[in-house]
């Protein structure tokens, strides 16, 4: 585990600007995984009047955890954080309909495959129990190829 990455604010690892930084902090970082935390409550983006958040928002929590892993890898290599793209998900399996106000979610992304900017990640969201599982597929082009991707 690389504890130096834990010193960074999540916003420093993501190519997002507030209010779209949905993760609160990084709990753990290793060569093939990252664990982030989300505090559910009325302050959180996408929360309802009781502070609950629909479980489908978990896809974005997972995608941002994957992006934070890529950002941490970039910081470790002395490179800038770069934009990536969520390609899709397989088997998004929620065991709940909502993340409940007061929950402290642990979001885990583990890299299972990566080649030429395309990656696959096994992801989970849990509290004291497993809430959601999914496989996330993402693409992060080299910075010099980003313009071609966006045009």
**For 21-45, what is each residue's pLDDT tens digit?**
999 999 999 999 999 999 999 999 9
Q: Tell me the residue ranges of DSSP E strands in 10-146.
A: 25-30, 33-39, 53-54, 85-94, 98-99, 104-115, 118-126, 130-139
Q: Between 62 and 91, where is the model more confident? A: 62
Give the domain extent around 122: 3-150
Overall size of the chain counted in residues: 151
CATH, residue 117: 3.10.129.10
Cα angle 20, 113, 13; round to 5: 30
Q: Are 83 and 149 in contact (CB under 8 A)?
A: no
pLDDT of residue 151: 62
Mean pLDDT across 90-113 = 96
For the stretch 104-113, pLDDT in tens is 999 999 999 9
Q: Would you say 44 and 53 are in contact if contact means Cβ atoms under 8 Å apart? A: yes
Give the number of domains in the chain.
1
Report the alpha-carbon angle 65-19-11, nearest 5. Answer: 45
């Amino acid at each position: 585990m690389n504890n130096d990455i834990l010193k960074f604010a999540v916003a420093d690892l993501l190519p997002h600007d507030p209010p779209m930084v949905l993760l609160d902090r990084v709990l753990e970082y290793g060569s093939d995984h990252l664990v982030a935390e989300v505090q559910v409550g009325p302050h959180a983006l996408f929360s309802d009047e009781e502070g609950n958040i629909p479980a489908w928002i978990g896809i974005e929590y997972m995608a941002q955890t994957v992006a934070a892993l890529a950002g941490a890898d970039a910081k470790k290599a002395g490179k800038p954080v770069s934009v990536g793209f969520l390609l899709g998900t397989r088997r998004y399996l929620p065991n709940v309909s909502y993340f409940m106000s007061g929950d402290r979610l642990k979001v885990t992304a583990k890299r299972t495959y990566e080649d030429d900017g395309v990656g696959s990640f096994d992801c989970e969201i849990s509290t004291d129990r497993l809430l959601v599982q999914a496989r996330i597929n993402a693409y992060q082009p080299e910075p010099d190829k980003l313009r071609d991707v966006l045009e």
